[in-house]
Structure 1
Amino acid sequence: MRGLRKVVTVVDEVLRDVGRPVPVPVRRVAVAAVVRNPWAGRGFVTDLQPEVEALAPELARLLTGRLIETLGGVERIEAFGKAAVVGLDGEIEHGGALIHTPYFGNVLRELTEGTSIIVFSDDRLPAGEPLTVPLWHKTAAATRSHYQTVQIRVPDAPRPDELVVIAGAASGPRPHARIGDRRTDPVVRLADLEKLENAR
């Protein structure tokens, strides 16, 4: 892949939480590709599309393939997310261009057999700063048990003229999830809360 310098994979496997065993151990994975920013040194580029079409699908295939391999199959992916870190000489829009278009998102979604919109984070940071990648359920975004995060840090990236593009996934929900679900929540309005507060 043009401009690819390295790929970093982080695996977080939760076996116990608050002293209690997790019923089913959950693996959270983030895979990061460190690539040269294709717009670096070119000033303000009005049309980002040619580079997006050339690079974003390749990144999506690479990162999603590593997620599937690390988790042991596409059926093991229950939650997903995406992120980008732009080096200090780039624009936030450069990271957004590579992860927020169908050339990345649709490929990641199709390869993971997901249907949900993919939750994301992005930032412009110096090399070595951590980024938290949010995750949620790949087919039912309202499933609150799968709202979680995985953190990744690449010690020598992004350099000022680089981007770090990340795909994340989890094999299950948060440990001991027990705060209900948006489909079964009661209707809560400000007026209802005021009644509760007045009754105390």
Structure 2
Amino acid sequence: MNLRKIVTVVEETQAEGGRPVEPAARVAVVAAIIENPWNGQGFVEDLAPGIDANASDLGALLAPRVLDALGEPAEAYGKAAIVGLDGEVEHGSALIHTLKFGDHFRKAADATTLLPAVEKRAPAGVVFDIPLKHITDATIRSHHQTIEVRIADAPHADEIVVALAAASQGRPQQRLASLKTEQ
């Protein structure tokens, strides 16, 4: 894995809807900007060697960092892969949609649900939203949320931004009824 940089963002919401949020709602994102492992190879039929060489290392790098940045137990989580313009969306998907990547985060967060994801191809500086859901029950509405991310100089055309996000709680001031009330 050719790593160019790591970006960490922590957002803390102190008030929402004119009321204090107690405790403050924290969301952390840690993104690794790496060289696309399939860059310059044309269409690659078998992505498995690139997955094997990179996905687990990325998960092992990002999972503890995002939880450290959050500074408290995660209740919601998500992931992202933003591929530079010379790559394919499938390149980002290959890195993040494998247990070799995601299980690092699931184990570190004591989670059981699938990680919600965003993946797309875009130029440097693109704004992207990482969806988050509850770590053990994806039907808990209060934890369906997103965090907006932008890295000014990434991804370069030959890079991929791979990111993990974690939240300490659900949306601030959430008050939607449980999904069970509609079933």
**TM-score normalized by structure 1?**
0.89
In 2: Cα distance, 1:163 partner to 1:67 partner: 18
Counterpart residue type for residue 115 of structure 1: T
1:49 is the counterpart of 2:54: no
User: Highest CA radius of gyration, 1 or 2?
Assistant: 1
Query: Once the two structures are superposed, what CA deviation does each residue of 1:95-116 show, in whole Å capped at 9, x if it has no partner?
Result: 0000011111122211211001
Q: For residue 182 of structure 2, what is the amino acid of its counterpart?
A: P
How far did 1:62 drift?
Answer: 1.0
Q: How far does residue 45 in structure 1 lie from its aligned partner after superposition?
A: 0.4
Q: Does 1:136 align with 2:141?
A: no
Cα distance in 1, alignment partners of residues 36 and 61 from structure 2: 17
1:110 paired residue number? 107
Q: Deviations over 1:6-26 (max 9, x none)?
A: 000111100001211113211
Deviations 1:105-144 (A, max 9, x none): 1222112110011111111000011110000100111110
Q: Do the aligned residues in 2 keep the contact of 1:30 with 1:151 (CA within 8 Å)?
A: no
TM-score normalised per structure 2: 0.97
Q: CA deviation at 1:31?
A: 0.8
Q: Distance in 2 between matches of 1:125 and 1:12?
A: 24
Query: What is the letter of the counterpart of residue 138 of structure 2?
Result: A
Q: Is the 8 A contact 1:80 1:170 kept in 2?
A: yes
Query: Matches of 1:139 and 1:11 in 2, distance apart?
Result: 22
Q: Unaligned 5+ residue runs, structure 2?
A: none
CA distance in 2, matches of 1:28, 1:155: 20
Greater mean deviation of Cα atoms: 110-119 or 87-96: 110-119
Aligned match of 1:26: 25
| SS of residue in 1 equivalent to 2:123 | coil
**Residue 151 (structure 1) shift:** 1.4
Tell me the SS of whatever aligns to 1:173.
coil
Q: Distance in 2 between matches of 1:44 and 1:111?
A: 35
Between the two proteins, what is the percent identity of the paired residues?
47
Mapped pair 1:186 → 2:162: no
**What number of residue pairs does the alignment pair up?**
183
Moved over 2 A (4+): none
Letter in 2 for 1:142: T
